[in-house]
Amino acid sequence: MILCYNMRILIKTNLMHKYPPKLLFSQKRLVNVFKSFEELPKPTVEQKEYADLRDILLQVGELFKVYRSKVDEGMEYLKDKSEKDTPELKDLNKCLQEYQSCYLALFNHLKKNGFIDEKDKIIVPEEVATNEDIAQKTALQLKNALSSGIKEKAAFEKAGTKLGDQYNRLLADKNPLVGLTPEFLEGLGIKEPKPPEEEPVKPAISKDKTPAAAPAAVSPEKKLSRESPEYWAAFYRDITRKIIAKADTGEEKPLSSDEKLAIMLMKGGETMTIKLDEREYLLERDQMGRYIRIRDYKPTPEPDDPDFQKLLEASNPYICTSGKKERPPIWKNRAVSDVMLDKLDKGREEFDKQVSWLFSDSAPMGSKVVFSNILGREKVKDSADEKIHRVEVEMIKQADNSVRTRYLEQFLIKRGKKFLHEPGTVEKTSICADAEECRRLFARIIRPETNISAYAAGLEEQEHERRLYIDENMNKLAGNLNRASIFTYMNDAFKEWLGKMQAFIKDNGVENWKQKPEEGFKNRHVEVVDGKITVFKKNPEYEVHEKKLAAKQRKGGKTAEEAGPEEAPPLYLTIYPIFKGPEEGEEKIA
């Protein structure tokens, strides 16, 4: 009987794992198992690593069954022996009591901890997921979410392409967009667009040196109907203009909801071109579709670019009418020009090579390229007359596969000579750029400095002559021509700046144009008159008058209105149309 109990315990308990059924139930093994039962090491927590409560509870359940049968049998046995009082029976009685107390202790513990139900049966908790199960489940969820995310992105891009096509057609005025209903826009999370407001025209300054009267306000009847294609065309142009006004620095900027609409019309993560006011812009939307970068679609035109010449001629009657397209004397030296171009070409090749590598997969994050030798350290003919001009461009690959670009411009002039650029200035600028922006950086920042490398190549004498020449001519022109007009012929950088200024004024209106002191336009006002960029010089007497008037007001005199305009000197003393040629009798500089 005892053997039978032990066998049941053995089978039902964890020892099944140690002794597989085949071995356990072979006759020979069975005998061996029972012989060695008492010798089996007692399982400890550490050995058995009882992490699974389920196993223990199942074992306890079996122990309880065994207990009940044993106790019943023992009680039955002792019932007949109540009249006897042998030591063996006493011992049996004692062991039975111990057995019962152990059972009760375990039973009560289980009941207290909620492992025993109302029918006194052991509750075995359900199997819980393992770490691996959770990891597998998560991996599956991630894969599903990833595939749905990619699908959603593709669908979004597809929708963007479709809308982008419509948008392009709209901008081309071939097939005006009429399908965008307010509901559709709401679906995109965008409020119904308001018709673009007519911007008040700034009073132009007439040639009689007094500002012209402001035009009458636009009448409400002239407002466009929402049904009309012009309304939508104007709406999108307005948005695009706003976006363009925000952009160009390469920085990521948050957009308004209206501007987001324009982005909705683009392909995510890609680029599209839009045409606005006869200019093309390249719009870039990042992968997240959250920010936008806008750049001039066409790179900065080269001075020899026929388009640029056309642009220049179109806005420069002096060049057109005089037919003088030749370079000023200093630039007639082809050798100088060739040296510069050679250097530029070599620099460009090297730059392109290095930048391509930096953006390739083979360049790990943090890779650095320094372009200190594009222009290099140069010496003049006479080694004693050493002048160093160095432009250093440092590019470091970022984690997001862009490149952080820093350029360091250093002028070290050992011998005191006056040059166009201030000596000893050190500039450090850092921008985050993609490959295209790096090329622009090269074109915009390094390129204009090429002429400085030409000085270092032994041309400072000629440069000095050039400076003298400019100064002399400036004096001859007696201040009637703006200094900038001379630079039109002399300085490529100015040409570039001029092109940008024109574009800016066309796009944004002249009132938004802000001159920078370094551009040589101090105390001047730039405006477009009859389609020409015109510089107005402020009358210094007007400032004196203003000061006097203010002083009078403080002392209780007339106000500006009371004083009337007749007492005030003109605000603008002289008008300088930049592209108008010299006045009669004045000497041309080229």
Partner 1 sequence: MNLLKMPKTKLKKHLYQLMAQSMAIQSLKAEERLEMQDKILGLPEGEMVKMVGILENEQLELAELHKRSLREMKEAKKLTSMAQSLRDAGRRFDKAFLTARESEEREESSETTRTLLDEIERL
- Note the residues at the interface with partner 1 (CB under 8 A): 2, 5-6, 9, 42-43, 45, 48, 50-53, 56-57, 59-60, 63, 66-67, 70, 73-74, 77, 81, 86, 88-89, 91-92, 94-96, 98-99, 101-103, 105-106, 109-110, 113, 128-132, 134-139, 141-142, 145-146, 148-150, 152-153, 156, 268, 287-290
Q: Can you say whether the dihedral through the CA atoms of 55, 60, 63, 69 is positive or negative?
A: negative
Nearest distance from C-beta of residue 247 to partner 1, angstroms: 18
- Whether 298 and 306 have beta carbons less than 8 Å apart is answered as no
Task: Decide: helix, strand or coil at residue 245.
Answer: helix
How far is it, in rounded angstroms, from Cα 484 to Cα 356? 38
Task: Decide: helix, strand or coil at residue 500.
Answer: helix
Of the pair 291, 504, the CB lying nearest partner 1 is at 291
DSSP structural state of residue 234: H
Of the pair 46, 304, the CB lying nearest partner 1 is at 46
Nearest distance from C-beta of residue 497 to partner 1, angstroms: 34
Nearest distance from C-beta of residue 434 to partner 1, angstroms: 16
Of the pair 3, 544, the CB lying nearest partner 1 is at 3
- Whether 510 and 527 have beta carbons less than 8 Å apart is answered as yes
Nearest distance from C-beta of residue 56 to partner 1, angstroms: 5
Nearest distance from C-beta of residue 513 to partner 1, angstroms: 33
Of the pair 5, 469, the CB lying nearest partner 1 is at 5
Distance, C-alpha 55 to centroid of its chain: 57
Nearest distance from C-beta of residue 92 to partner 1, angstroms: 4
- Whether 234 and 224 have beta carbons less than 8 Å apart is answered as yes
How far is it, in rounded angstroms, from Cα 67 to Cα 61? 10
Nearest distance from C-beta of residue 67 to partner 1, angstroms: 6
Nearest distance from C-beta of residue 142 to partner 1, angstroms: 6
Nearest distance from C-beta of residue 14 to partner 1, angstroms: 10
Angle at 546 (CA atoms; ends 545, 551), nearest 5 degrees: 95
User: What's 11-55 look like in SS3?
Assistant: HHCCHHHHCCHHHHCCHHHHHHHHHHHHHCCCCCHHHHCCCCHHH
Amino acid (one-letter) located at 178: V
Of the pair 161, 300, the CB lying nearest partner 1 is at 161
How far is it, in rounded angstroms, from Cα 25 to Cα 99? 29
**CB count in 10 Å sphere of residue 312:** 21
Angle at 153 (CA atoms; ends 247, 191), nearest 5 degrees: 55
Cβ-proximal residues to 408 (8 Å cutoff; 6+ apart), any chain: 391, 392, 393, 394, 426, 427, 428
**CB count in 10 Å sphere of residue 372:** 14
How far is it, in rounded angstroms, from Cα 302 to Cα 182? 45
User: What's 58-97 look like in SS3?
Assistant: HHHHHHHHHHHHHHHHHHHHHHHCCCCCCHHHHHHHHHHH
DSSP structural state of residue 211: B
- What Cα–Cα distance (Å) separates residue 162 from each residue in 171, 238, 288? 14, 21, 19
Task: Decide: helix, strand or coil at residue 373.
Answer: coil
Nearest distance from C-beta of residue 82 to partner 1, angstroms: 13
What phi and psi, each to the nearest 5 degrees, are found at residue 586? -90, 150
Of the pair 284, 378, the CB lying nearest partner 1 is at 284
Nearest distance from C-beta of residue 270 to partner 1, angstroms: 14
Of the pair 75, 544, the CB lying nearest partner 1 is at 75
Nearest distance from C-beta of residue 139 to partner 1, angstroms: 4
Rounded CA Rg of the chain: 45
Q: Would you call 438 exposed, middle or buried from its count of C-beta atoms within 10 A (0-12, 13-18, 19+)? A: buried
Nearest distance from C-beta of residue 168 to partner 1, angstroms: 23
Of the pair 90, 162, the CB lying nearest partner 1 is at 90
How far is it, in rounded angstroms, from Cα 155 to Cα 151? 6
Of the pair 285, 524, the CB lying nearest partner 1 is at 285
Of the pair 139, 550, the CB lying nearest partner 1 is at 139
Nearest distance from C-beta of residue 63 to partner 1, angstroms: 6
How far is it, in rounded angstroms, from Cα 587 to Cα 205? 28
Of the pair 132, 221, the CB lying nearest partner 1 is at 132
- Structure-block tokens of residue 429: 């600028």
Of the pair 140, 412, the CB lying nearest partner 1 is at 140
Of the pair 103, 359, the CB lying nearest partner 1 is at 103
Of the pair 6, 473, the CB lying nearest partner 1 is at 6
